[in-house]
Amino acid sequence: MAPRARHAVAKALGIKLQERDPFQELDRPGASMMSDHTDHSFVEEPPEVLDYLNNLIPSGNQLYNYVVSLFPFLAWIGHYNLQWLVGDLVAGKKWLSPCLIQRSHFAHISYA
């Protein structure tokens, strides 16, 4: 359809036509979809291997959180009351002894 006829039909139907092609800016490299709505355009730099590898190395805080998630006692062991140590060892031995006895009995059971 000719541009003049298109404008006449659009005016008769009350349709507002776009003044220009909205994707014309995208033909140039580095253009973004929203560049006509902002004061500046965003141009993404090409990725570099060293930047990628540096992002893989955890920071000190991330490394600390990971180690504490593996060994949770590290979070509280510095605040442990040493007066409780003897009582905790006795309780652990009393709990561990029946478990070891039961385990040794299971080891001798034949499933044949």
Average pLDDT of each block of 10 consecutive residues along the chain (112 residues)? 80 78 60 55 79 89 94 91 91 84 70 46
The pLDDT of residue 39: 61
Q: Tokens representing 94?
A: 């009393």
The pLDDT of residue 67: 94
The pLDDT of residue 38: 56
Distance of alpha carbon 82 from alpha carbon 25, whole angstroms: 71
Distance of alpha carbon 14 from alpha carbon 12, whole angstroms: 6
| pTM above threshold 0.85 | no
